[in-house]
Amino acid sequence: MLIERAKVLSKRIAEYDRLKGSANEAMKLETRAEQFQEASDAIARTRSTLKRFADVGVSVSFVPKECDALIGRANVLRAAVQSDYKKLDDPPFNLKFEFIDRLRSISASADDEILSAWQSFVRTSSDPVSDDILEALAAVPQYRPVVSTIRACRTKLATLASTVPSDLKTAIDALHTIVKDHRSAWTEMTAEGIPPSVISFLQACAAQGAPLTGLTDEVRGWLESRNLIHAFRIKIR
């Protein structure tokens, strides 16, 4: 009787050890699966975003690094899993630092370039305005409403450029609307009596800077009559 009980107990212990070992293996595989899934999801999101940008014609200058090395490691892992899944627990390279983290790094670098491309697109699609010029124009009571409109447009542009939009088409439509409002504000100033030569001079200063030839007698006289000449500086390039 004791011998039979001992045999049963021995079988139960062996089965427990087997199940415990299987559970440990399962936990290790689950950890690997989570690591692969996180990296895969990040790469998939990046690819999707890059495609959306390409579809609307916004160029993103991004070339992933170490592609050949990562492809080689992926092939090694695939072959290892196909022959014996347990090899995932002891791959021929550091799985986390040489593969998983590298994939995450590619995704993070791409995200940075995508944001930079979007901000560049917003910037080049809109008209820059000098803070000094706005401040100077705001000193003239009749131009304050226009300056307020322009500043509101700038705030909207900054907000739009701060993050990569999930809906690019809607965001680009919003961008065009803001730019239109901004340009309308400049036109409004023309209608309120600012000579075209002054408007051209101010717009040039707000963009890349106006040449001295743009500071005509008419422009200089208009600026001096409103005590705005101090808002401008000569830069030698």
Give the pLDDT of the chain (237 residues) as one tens digit per residue: 545 544 444 555 444 444 444 445 556 666 666 777 888 888 889 889 999 999 998 989 888 777 778 778 878 877 777 776 666 667 777 777 888 888 888 888 999 999 999 999 999 998 877 777 787 777 677 778 888 999 999 999 999 999 999 899 999 999 999 999 998 887 776 666 677 788 778 777 766 778 888 888 888 888 888 777 777 777 776
What is the phi/psi pair of residue 150, to 5°?
-65, -40
Indicate the burial class of 234 (C-beta count within 10 angstroms; 0-12, 13-18, 19 or more).
exposed
Predicted structure pTM score: 0.69
Cα separation values, 3 from 9, 106, 140, Å: 10, 62, 106
Give the list of residues 6+ apart from residue 139 with CB closer than 8 angstroms, or none.
226, 227, 228
CA 10, CA 231: separation in Å to the nearest integer?
A: 93
Q: Calculate helix-pair angle for 2-55, 101-125, nearest 10 degrees.
A: 20
- Number of residues assigned to the chain: 237
